[in-house]
């Protein structure tokens, strides 16, 4: 398994769209391909690849030189429960540390709060509804290098 960064011209981006659609939007009755994706070339795209297949992905939206927003993390359904989300976040945080990023913000589905809390993310504010389900703003500061 390999941690990679890729852009929207990469074949991995098409795999990322399919994974995000299948795991994040389709279960909610939504179609990722009907969303405005025009800003995605400005985002940073990361994933875990095994045998040329993207098995986990995440997007980062740069806010400024010290802060980013983590968006749409997804793991293939048949790969879930094997620590890939944790591995992806670990590699990502190491990468962001090397870029001198100090703060990560994300909008977590309430069902994923425990995962993010265990790895140091803090709840901010009150829950809210996004794409029809409850979410919670979370942040992590003092990003550490990958160990």
pTM of the model: 0.92
Among candidate residues 90, 4, 15, the one with its CA nearest the CA of residue 44: 4
In angstroms, the CA 29 to CA 26 distance is: 5
Pick out the chain residues at pLDDT < 70: 145-147
Contact status, residue 62 vs residue 96, Cβ threshold 8 Å: no
CA distances from 33 to 5, 7, 70, 96 (A): 22, 17, 20, 28
Question: Each residue of 94-133: pLDDT tens digit?
Answer: 999 999 999 999 999 999 999 999 999 999 999 999 888 9
Among candidate residues 98, 97, 35, 44, the one with its CA nearest the CA of residue 71: 44
**What domains can be seen in the chain, in order of their start residue?**
2-141 (3.40.630.30)
> Mean pLDDT, the chain, as a whole number?
94
């Amino acid at each position: 398994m390999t941690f990679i960064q890729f852009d929207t011209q990469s074949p991995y981006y098409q795999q990322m769209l399919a994974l995000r659609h299948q795991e994040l939007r389709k279960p909610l009755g939504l179609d990722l391909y009907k969303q405005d994706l025009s800003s995605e070339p400005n985002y940073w795209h990361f994933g875990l690849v095994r045998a040329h297949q993207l098995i986990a992905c995440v997007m980062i939206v740069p806010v400024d030189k010290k802060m980013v927003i983590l968006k749409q993390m997804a793991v293939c359904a048949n790969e879930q429960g094997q620590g890939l989300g944790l591995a992806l976040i670990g590699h990502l945080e190491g990468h962001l540390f090397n870029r001198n990023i100090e703060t990560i913000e994300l909008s977590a589905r309430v069902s994923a709060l425990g995962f993010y809390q265990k790895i140091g993310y803090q709840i901010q504010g009150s829950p809210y509804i996004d794409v029809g389900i409850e979410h919670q703003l979370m942040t992590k500061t003092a990003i550490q290098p990958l160990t």
